[in-house]
Amino acid sequence: MADNVLRLENLTMQFGGLIAVDDISLDVNKGEIVALIGPNGAGKTTAFNCITGVYEPTNGRVLLNGEIISESYPRGKMKDAYKGKNKGTYNKVVRHTPDKITYRGIARTFQNIRLFKALTVFENVMIAKHMRAKQNIFTATFRLNWKEERRMREETMALLEEQNLAHLKDHTASSLPYGLQRRLEIARALATDPSLLLLDEPAAGMNPQETQEIAEFIRSVREKYKTTILLIEHHMGLVMQISERIYVLDFGEMIAHGTPDEIRSNQKVIGAYLGVVEDAEN
């Protein structure tokens, strides 16, 4: 597919004897909002960490815009300990640190908000601009990069204004209410000019009204920046409302994928969440 943004191929992550992510394959196409759901401990965040380069997958491949950004096969200690599938399919190692992956165009937010707490809202977003600025330590120190610096400031201000955070620019990040911290985190991720945005539980800890706001916010982000979004979420209302396609993980395995309507009526998914399907049939 030409408009494929993210593709996971047979991604497997094994910690010691435990397979946290088991042979999942997933596609996200340009402009889509795709959700990755599953009960606690299903391996959603682990999958995120494999995509963003925090973990090196045990086996499998991650592609961004058709380019391999991460690939690995069981080696070292895992050579004998590997219990997953597709052994021998992959034989290359491609590994990038998280900052390189962000540079290639994947930005993320965190489950437990990770802002630069003591810094201002403005600085938080400016830091995300650092990566793409054309400068080195000498030009930056002696302000020979002032044109670049000016551009960074202008873009940051524009972004903050679009996100209705401009009036808070001089407040420290930690002084913001929870909902705004979430939005700032997303704004900061957007400042890295991503082609794919990964949101790890954007509505965690929010009340119904805030959840509704974040849903609209995520939609507006997609419209404005033409970003593709992959999100992890527990809040079913939000997931069903905004995502076009849903992937469901349970115990590391992909048990279903489809449109919200298909997922809603999928017995396996209901079973994974409620665990009562067999009992009900008896």
Partner 1 sequence: MDVINSTKKISTKNLTIIALLVAFFILLIILEQVIAPTDRMNMLLVSLRQGSIFALLAVSMNLLNGFTGLFSLGHAGFMLIGATTYALFSIPLAQRTDVFLWFSDSYLIRTSFPEVLGNAIGGPGMIMGMLIAITLAGLITAVFAFLVGLPVLRMRSDYLAIATLGFAEIIRALIMWQGLGTLTNAGNPLRNFTRHVDLNITIGGQTFGLITFTLALLSAICIFVIILIVSSSYGRAFKAIREDDIAAEAMGINLFKHKQLSFCISSFFVGIGGALLAIFMGTVAPIQFRAAMTYEFLLIVVLGGIGSVSGSVIGAMLFVFASMWWLRGLDSGAFLGLERITIGGFNIGERVFVSGFRLVVFSVIIMCVVLFFRRGLLGDKELPYYVKKLKDTIVTRITRKEKAGVSDG
Residue (155 or 213) nearer to partner 1, CB: 155
Q: Taking contact as CB under 8 A, which single stretch among the options 1-9, 85-93, 184-192, 261-269 is the one that binds partner 1?
A: 184-192
Q: Is 70 in the site for partner 1 (CB under 8 A)?
A: no
One of 8, 64, 107, 221 touching partner 1 (CB under 8 A): 107
**DSSP E strand boundaries for 76-143:** 106-108
- Please name the residue that has the structure tokens 């600085």: 123
One of 12, 14, 59, 102 touching partner 1 (CB under 8 A): 102
Torsion of CA 116, 234, 86, 3, to 10 degrees: -70
Task: Report how far apart, in Å, the C-alpha atoms of 122 and of each of 7, 171, 194 are.
Answer: 34, 8, 19
Which amino acid, one-letter code, is at 11? Answer: L
DSSP secondary structure string for all residues of 229-265:
EEEE-S-HHHHHHH-SEEEEEETTEEEEEE-HHHHHT
Residue (12 or 49) nearer to partner 1, CB: 49
Q: Answer whether 72's CB lies under 8 Å from 153's CB.
A: no
One of 7, 108, 235, 257 touching partner 1 (CB under 8 A): 108
E strand or H helix at 162: helix 146-162
Round to whole Å and give the CA distance between 250 and 269: 9
Distance in Å, CB of 62 to partner 1, minimum: 16
Q: Is 144 in the site for partner 1 (CB under 8 A)?
A: no
Residue (133 or 277) nearer to partner 1, CB: 133
Distance in Å, CB of 160 to partner 1, minimum: 10
Round to whole Å and give the CA distance between 229 and 63: 15
Q: Taking contact as CB under 8 A, which single stretch among the options 56-64, 111-119, 218-226, 259-267 is the one that binds partner 1?
A: 111-119
Q: Is 225 in the site for partner 1 (CB under 8 A)?
A: no
Residue (132 or 219) nearer to partner 1, CB: 132
Q: Is 150 in the site for partner 1 (CB under 8 A)?
A: yes
Q: Which two tokens stand for residue 166?
A: 């401009």
Task: Give the residues lining the site for partner 1 (CB under 8 A).
Answer: 52, 54, 97-100, 102-103, 107-108, 110, 114-119, 122-123, 126-133, 135, 137, 140-143, 145-146, 149-150, 152-154, 157, 169, 188-189, 192
